[in-house]
């Protein structure tokens, strides 16, 4: 591995949901809403989830740059409400929606996994490279999902705090707090997330070097460093620091 002084990253911060653990997936919505069937239409559900995730990315970004109120736990639940209705393709009773969202925010007994996570985490541990996990999910929810991954044992977790004054993702303060906790001042820290605006661009604004994990090719045509799976993490340690990202518009398109 290249010496950190020569430009190699000193540490890695990962997003959690849909980066280390599947979250917004057809299978997870199936379990949360219709565990006994009928089987959801895969094509319709995937399209609805894709649209919803992109809308959530834009909404988080707008809250960050001040064109809409910042997001918090209430806005996350509303986002999941809207996703469920889109997946259902019809109105649902409020009581049903609340029950399904509560269930969705728990790992299913047969949780899906990403096959590339264990290899990436094993390599980081073998190389002695510190890594952490940042997420806007509440700590109890985040720990439940993280425990199902190869990163779960001993990973530093930076989750949403119940303390009102604590900075919340995707704010620069939240990214910087995680960065300071995992690496010395001035060290090169790479952040890996699956959303373009509120993960990658937000982390870049906070001074981190950010890489988009675009498993589903959701953000084709947008600039910046990109990997298709976590096998690409290893290559980051063989590359010089990325050039500064171009100035982005204040509102995501």
pLDDT (0 to 100) of residue 108 = 92
pLDDT (0 to 100) of residue 238 = 75
> What backbone phi and psi angles, to 5 degrees, belong to 82?
-65, -40
CA 168 to chain centre: 14
> What backbone phi and psi angles, to 5 degrees, belong to 76?
-65, -45
Report whether 189 contacts 7 (CB < 8 A).
no
Q: What are the start and end residues of each CATH 3.40.50.1000 domain in the chain?
A: 4-22+113-236
pLDDT (0 to 100) of residue 3 = 44
- CA-nearest of 23, 69, 252, 54 to 171 is 69
pLDDT (0 to 100) of residue 242 = 58
Report whether 12 contacts 185 (CB < 8 A).
no
Report whether 70 contacts 171 (CB < 8 A).
yes
Half-sphere exposure of 31 (CA within 13 A, CB side): 16
pLDDT (0 to 100) of residue 74 = 95
pLDDT (0 to 100) of residue 6 = 52
pLDDT (0 to 100) of residue 1 = 39
Question: Facing residues of 172 across strands?
Answer: none
pLDDT (0 to 100) of residue 2 = 39
Helix or strand (DSSP H, E) at 193: strand 189-193
Helix or strand (DSSP H, E) at 12: strand 11-15
Give CA–CA dist 252/247, Å, rounded: 12
Helix or strand (DSSP H, E) at 131: strand 131-138
Residues 6+ apart with CB under 8 A from 75: 59, 63, 69
What's the CATH code, domain 4-22+113-236? 3.40.50.1000
Give CA–CA dist 155/29, Å, rounded: 27
**pLDDT under 70 in the chain at which residues?**
1-8, 162, 164, 239-253
Q: C-alpha angle 192/214/146, rounded to 5°?
A: 50
Give CA–CA dist 117/150, Å, rounded: 7
Residues constituting the chain: 253
């Amino acid at each position: 591995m290249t010496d950190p002084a020569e430009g190699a990253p000193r540490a890695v911060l990962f997003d959690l949901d849909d980066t280390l653990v599947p979250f917004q997936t057809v299978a997870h919505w199936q379990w949360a809403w219709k565990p006994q069937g009928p089987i959801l239409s895969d094509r319709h559900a995937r399209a609805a989830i894709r649209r919803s995730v992109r809308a959530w990315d834009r909404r988080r970004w707008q809250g960050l740059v001040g064109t809409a109120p910042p997001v918090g736990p209430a806005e996350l639940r509303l986002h999941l409400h809207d996703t469920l209705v889109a997946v259902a393709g019809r109105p649902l009773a409020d009581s049903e929606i609340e029950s399904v969202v509560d269930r969705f925010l728990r790992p299913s007994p047969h949780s899906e996994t990403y096959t590339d996570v264990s290899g990436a985490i094993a390599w980081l541990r073998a190389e002695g490279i510190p890594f952490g996990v940042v997420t806007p999910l509440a700590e109890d929810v985040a720990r439940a999902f993280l425990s199902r991954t190869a990163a779960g044992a001993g990973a530093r977790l930076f989750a949403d705090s119940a303390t009102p004054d604590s900075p919340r993702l995707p704010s620069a303060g939240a990214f910087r707090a995680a960065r300071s906790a995992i690496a010395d001042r001035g060290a090169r820290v790479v952040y890996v997330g699956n959303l373009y605006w509120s993960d990658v661009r937000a982390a870049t604004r906070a001074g981190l070097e950010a890489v988009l994990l675009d498993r589903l090719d959701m953000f084709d045509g947008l600039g910046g460093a990109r990997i298709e799976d976590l096998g690409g993490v290893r290559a980051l340690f063989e590359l010089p620091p990325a050039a500064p990202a171009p100035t982005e518009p204040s509102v995501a398109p």
